[in-house]
Amino acid sequence: AQSVSQHNHHVILSEAASLELGCNYSYGGTVNLFWYVQYPGQHLQLLLKYFSGDPLVKGIKGFEAEFIKSKFSFNLRKPSVQWSDTAEYFCAVNTAAGNKLTFGGGTRVLVKP
């Protein structure tokens, strides 16, 4: 069975700082990778996804993620954060064999104005 780990539980940074959130998964086969965001009081929303092709994926709101197969990683990045990026971010993975989406524990990001 696949599993997902997110290294940071909480991140605090100032506006305009760069953000990088780590995500590692364990599964030996082909995977599909996702980042979801949950803004305060809102439902989970898809930020970006990777299935195949270019390992650098661009998503909404200036976010991007890089899939490094050799490291089983799919880190999320944003060059310059805004106060509105305050949210909880979840990395998730499913396998080519099935739909089951497995989530990491999440990282709470607080951007100070």
Assess 59 for contact with another protein (CB under 8 A).
Answer: no
Residue 16 token pair: 């305009």
Assess 100 for contact with another protein (CB under 8 A).
Answer: yes
Phi/psi of residue 52, nearest 5 degrees: -170, 175
Q: How many CB atoms lie within 10 A of CB 16?
A: 10
Q: Is 83 helix (H, G, I), strand (E, B) or coil?
A: helix
Q: Which of residues 9-48 bind another protein (CB under 8 A)?
A: 32, 34, 36, 42-46
Assess 101 for contact with another protein (CB under 8 A).
Answer: yes
Say if CB 13 and CB 83 are below 8 A apart: no
Binding residue (CB under 8 A) for another protein from 12, 51, 55, 60: 51
Residues that bind another protein (CB under 8 A): 4, 6, 32, 34, 36, 42-46, 49, 51, 90, 92, 94, 96, 98-106
